[in-house]
Chains A and B, each alone.
Chain A
């Protein structure tokens, strides 16, 4: 359905390009800010006084500042990024582990209370988490008294709480299992596989692609989470990227703008690339239930 008149098409392109420009302007300017020495845009879009100082700052590389001193950043930004990657990766993996079996059971077996438990899962998922934060805090306090590596201010404790978000994945996965034909599993069962063997040898390999997509989605949303780690993590070395740079920039917007711009690009790029690598599947998922937005 192309519009026939060339003038119309040109006009459409012009409007779209203008919108693209407005939409992407903030991103261009942030890149340019991160590369200019004084961390601001004094002229147009290109960095004035080009320098890599802000990048060196966030990567923890010593550099010479405007006063001629050699400085290294006192903030462990790379450590924060590493923490975030670690927590998100482990949460995504463990969550997949727990939700796959549950979703499979909901999809394949008939048992008492199935419909009700599905409904219940979904409703409970909607409870605003804000007050649960207080409960999480106390719970990790108790758990930490028994197992210190799962207490407050530990990554173990944070991951443990994230695993509580499993029900949402169960929904997504169950929908996928429902679309898989049962005949393959039935023939495997005929050949003498147990239920568990059928699950690990037949079903899991079949749904590896969707599992990796859901894993990546969990990874992205855990990486982007801000509230929970900001309440549970206290010491600077334990902080995740989101909490760390939020505190870093909130202390002084004006003087840390350049460094923050560089840090944002560093943190956003891997997530953005991941997103684009799976965005086709996300569109499917979005129209079925909404991920964010």
Chain B
């Protein structure tokens, strides 16, 4: 519902804006900007507003429908009238009409305008073909109000594909909009806080989604079981991002500094070779590593067997799985560091080194007191950027380990290597315990706040770096 409102609302606003910008306004800037604005509103802003909205609802398995849809469902529920007969039936198709045969009694089948006489069940007039249950089901589904009028007994409905019964709606409308159960004469009680209808304390029909305030957020921070999972994943997400950045930075800067001191030709060749991993699409590399790290047939255990190392459960054991995702991410990510650090090293003026060597500094001292401080200072914003990227590096985790191995004591599905974003994916799309869009939306809101905070930090630091 929200989505429809948001879409129509934005469409109206954008329409008014378009008229203003292209007809009445003389400002050319707006005309250039407008097409991108439309895309931005529809495909960034509206989906984001939807996520925010969902995080305040209880949209999850069991609460996927709107209130109106649930009411509709309840109203279409029927019960068999007491003291009525259940008639066995057969449905026969002839080239130009249908024939419905009901027990030994005669009845009529009304299909729109044509009226068909019914014969006894045992006798099927020749030339016809008995319909199969699924064909009958299709017919019933198409005419939901299909009525079969029995000359002696009155109006019947299909109970099953091979039986008819006199049915009536289970619930009737009270004048005040509430529903009454015709069997027990009890009123349906609506639990508005949880989005469901109850009859004598028991839930009736599916639930609907409704605004539940901050309860998803409360759940994450206060419910001990959910809290355990959330903070475990939270902690690993930060360790993963930190170690990923640290490892790629160490390897990248070591290579960049080493290459920087070499001859031009070898520098170029080595650099080209080192950035090959970076040029391959992420998903391909990660999937390839998934195969190569396989315990039984993977190449990596095969090579290790040359050194008499017994097979390592790379993806199955909780510690090795963490090592695996970090090592693969190192392989994928160090060329990035190599590239940017090379850029920074090249921008350090040569005269600085000449001055320091005049004063008798060794190469190590040069690195310790000159190269490294300059490089690290310039790298801080990029390191934070890389950290923020890895916080949400879904492909690097999901395609390699699928988040696994699974933590058995976790109350909502979580694996040892699940970072927050892959945890969100599990909550929303992997329905082993049902889909919980609401909780997933709340988690992604928290991730958003985290990343924005990191970026502002980044901005502040970059400003400081460029100023001083």
Residues on A lying within 8 angstroms of B by beta carbon are 1-3, 12-13, 15-16, 19-20, 23-27, 29-30, 33, 40-41, 97-99, 101-102, 104-106, 108-111, 121-128, 130-136, 138-139, 142, 160-161, 163-167, 170, 195-196, 199, 220, 223-224, 226-227, 231, 242, 245-246, 249, 253-254, 257, 260-261, 264, 267-268, 271-272, 275-276, 279, 282-284, 286-287, 289-290, 292-293
Contacts and interface: CB of A to CB of B under 8 A. Distances in A.
Interface in B174-190: none
Contact of A98 (B35, B50, B291): B35
B291 A249 contact: yes
A8 to B, nearest CB: 10
Contacts of A19: 255, 274
Contacts of B283: 224, 226, 242, 246
Interface string B216-247: 00000000000000000000000000000000
Contact of A292 (B258, B336, B437): B336
23 contacts: A2-B262, A29-B292, A30-B288, A102-B32, A105-B30, A105-B31, A108-B29, A125-B44, A127-B448, A128-B424, A133-B429, A135-B46, A142-B4, A227-B425, A245-B284, A249-B291, A253-B294, A253-B297, A268-B281, A272-B279, A279-B279, A286-B340, A290-B386
Q: Which of A25, A249, A287 has the most CB of B within 10 A?
A: A287
B74 interface: no
A29 B293 CA distance: 13
B39 A164 contact: yes
B214 interface: no
A282 B335 CA distance: 12
Interface stretch (B119-127, B143-151, B392-400): B392-400
B389 interface: yes
Interface string B447-467: 110011001000000000000
B125 to A, nearest CB: 44
B278 A128 contact: no
A267 B284 CA distance: 8
Contacts of B414: none
Grouping DSSP codes into helix (H, G, I), strand (E, B) and loop, the A interface class, with mixed when no group exceeds half, is helix
Given A135-B51, A249-B291, A290-B389, A276 B36 contact: no
Contact of A26 (B260, B289, B392): B289
Grouping DSSP codes into helix (H, G, I), strand (E, B) and loop, the B interface class, with mixed when no group exceeds half, is helix
Given A126-B448, A290-B382, A40 B32 contact: no
B42 interface: yes
B394 A227 contact: yes
B337 A126 contact: no
A29 B299 contact: yes
B413 interface: no
A246 B287 contact: yes
B440 A130 contact: yes
A249 B35 contact: no
Nearest to A22: B331
A13 B258 CA distance: 10
A146 to B, nearest CB: 12
Contacts of A41: 299, 302
B30 A111 contact: yes
